[in-house]
Structure 1
Amino acid sequence: MPQRQTRQQAAKQRDTPASSDEEREAKLNGNGTAHQDADTSDDAPRENIFLFWPNIIGYFRIVLAIASLYYMPLHPRTCTVLYSVSCLLDALDGYVARIYEQSTKFGAVLDMVTDRCTTACLLVFLSSAFPRWAIIFQGLIALDLASHYMHMYATLVVSGSDSSHKNIDKSKSFILNLYYTNKIVLFIFCALNEVFFIALYLLSFSSPLLSPHLIKTVENTSGEALQPGVQVNTSILRQIFPDPFSAAALELARANKMDSFWPWVIAGISFPIMFGKQIINVVQLINASKGLADVDIKARKELGLPRPKPKKA
């Protein structure tokens, strides 16, 4: 009889579901069944990736960037503040993503697209502010977009969709590995790259050396002097802004009365880092191209290509 009760108790213990503490422990210990039930349960709420905190910061960055573009042609100080805050938030969203465990592929792409678009818009403005150097700025836009697009696409093709574009093998590229794995190096290069272009933007409002029209008067540009009480014809008004592609034009540049000393200092300090960032873009483009070419070679071999040419009789 006691033996029969012992067997019944054992059977009852097997049929009794585990307590909540035991279930929690099983999940923490990596129990496959428990983990699968937690992930695939139909009752589990669906997460809204678009409302993750890092992505909300990304949306705020976009708003600030658009606002800076609105003020860019006329108000250099306001534009600089808005643009700089938008760039600085780029470092915050990654930190928030790690704290709240909200790192997502959508967030990574949103972050990269925002960076590329804001920088491109600033370079477009610099192209109009300094028409003689427009081809340089256009080349920088093309290099930046091509390098990052090729790199992202190569990462998906070579390493798969689960791999991050920041996972660079040191044997393939020491420079890219250091750039993407060292957060301090990444921040310095990205930040000073933007700082250099912001300094050029400020110089377009303050430096007669880069923008000679800033020191031209209406009399010098039109050959006529404005007399009080005399009606001014439209031809003179048109020459108040002799260069329609200039960043400041005469009236706004004088109204802002900016000093070019600090923009020149900032530009001089940040130029080497900006130049190094462009070298990294070139290395990234070449590395991604080689990775895609290796995939093509492997795929062609599997297909038996190139096919041997038939021998001539």
Structure 2
Amino acid sequence: MAENIFLFIPNIVDYLRVITAFISFYYLPTDPWSASFWYLLSGLLDAIDGHLARMLDQGSKLGAMLDMLIDRCATMCLMAALCHFYPKYMLFFQFSMALDITSHWFHVQSSLMKGGESHKKLDLSANPILKHYYHNRIILFVMCSANELFFCMLYLTYFTPGPTLLGIGLFQAILYISAPLSFIKAGISILQLIAASKNIALIDQSDREARKTK
């Protein structure tokens, strides 16, 4: 009997991520504490699904696509809310959303065209910065977490700076610490977009040369 990929445990966790994310979006305009709780819960489930996939041997292309798209959409919806709270910086958030979606889309398509199983698996000929970024789980976790923290703290500091610690609000302190790492991650996204574009262009060249030799 064929396995039902849709009922793989990691994929069920991803469905829960969608539910918790939308609960968070519901509270975003008025209730920062409920919104933050459900958003962070969705992020925690993101950390769990990968471990379950490896532990249960239930990795799948569907799961990899779900994981990537839920990440992108959750961050995009948070930034859409930030456009409302910080209208003067709307262009920055719009650029961030466009870069995030475009770079990951190009990267995933490049990986699929080259026969890759996941956007987190690169061949050794790829950009060395991207190779270390995606192959070192500690670096990947720190950078992704810092990026999420930056936008989450922008959201929370709109309502409150947080408990005061050494004369500065806790949420503000986390915001300042995470900001440089978030900007570095944006730079990595640009590198990712450039590398993926080059890979796709090389595939185009190879396909055209193959057609000419027929």
TM class by smaller structure = over 0.9
Q: Could you tell me which residue of structure 2 aligns to residue 284 of structure 1?
A: 192
Q: Structure 1, residues 69-122: CA drift from partner, whole Å, max 9, x if none? A: 011101001111110111121111000111111001101101111000000000
More helix by share: 2
2:66 — aligned with what? 110
Aligned position for 1:265 = 173
Alignment of 1:160-199 (within 5 A): 160=115, 163-199=117-153
CA displacement at 1:258 relative to structure 2: 7.8
- Counterpart amino acid of residue 202 in structure 2: D
Give the TM-score normalised by structure 1: 0.64
Letter of the 1:62 partner, please give it: V
- Tell me by how many angstroms 1:165 deviates: 2.1
Report the residue type matching 2:207 in the other structure: A
1:299 and 2:193 matched: no
Q: Secondary structure at the match of 1:167?
A: coil
AA matched with 1:76: P
In the aligned structure 2, how far is the partner of 1:64 from the partner of 1:287?
A: 34
Q: Which runs of 5+ in 1 are unaligned?
A: 1-44, 208-256, 306-313
Q: Residue 85 of structure 2 contacts residue 158 of structure 2 at CA under 8 Å; is this kept in 1?
A: yes
Partner secondary structure for residue 303 of structure 1: helix
**Matched AA of 2:111:** T
Native 8 Å contact 2:13 2:45 kept in 1: yes
In structure 2, the residue matched to 1:79 is 35
Find the residue that maps to 1:87 and give its secondary structure.
helix
Task: Give 4+ residue runs of structure 1 displaced > 3 Å after superposition.
Answer: 257-260
Deviation, structure 1 residue 202: 0.7
Q: Residues 110-149 of structure 1: CA distance to partner in whole angstroms, max 9, x if unpaired?
A: 1111000000000000011100100000000000000010
The answer (yes or no) to whether the contact 1:176–1:284 under 8 Å persists in 2 is: yes
1:167 shift after superposition: 2.1
Q: Contact conserved, 1:156 with 1:163, CA < 8 A, in 2?
A: yes
* Alignment root-mean-square deviation, CA: 1.7
Name the CA distance, whole Å, in 2 between partners of 1:301 and 1:46. 40
Please tell me whether Structure 1 or Structure 2 has the larger radius of gyration of its CA atoms: 1
1:149 and 2:57 are equivalent in the alignment: no
Counterpart for residue 49 of structure 1? 5
| TM-score, with length taken from structure 2 | 0.93
Partner secondary structure for residue 54 of structure 1:
helix
Contact 1:87/1:191 (<8 A) preserved: no
The answer to whether the 8 Å contact 1:71/1:78 transfers is: yes
- For residue 29 of structure 2, give the secondary structure of its aligned residue in structure 1: coil
Aligned partner of 2:94 in structure 1 is: 138
Displacement of 1:170:
3.7
In 2, Cα distance between equivalents of 1:183 and 1:145: 21
Q: How far is the alpha carbon of 1:203 from its aligned partner? A: 1.3
SS at 1:304 equivalent: helix
- For 2:91 and 2:192, how far apart are their aligned partners in 1? 22
Structure 1 SS opposite 2:200: helix
69-78 vs 162-171, greater mean Cα deviation: 162-171
Tell me how far apart the structure 2 counterparts of residues 97 and 172 of structure 1 sit (CA, whole Å): 25
- Distance in 2, matches of 1:163 and 1:70, equals 34
Deviations 1:213-233 (A, max 9, x none): xxxxxxxxxxxxxxxxxxxxx
State percent identity of aligned pairs.
Answer: 43
- The separation in 2 between residues aligned to 1:168 and 1:52, in whole angstroms, is 25
Letter in 2 for 1:144: D
1:205 pairs with 2:159: yes
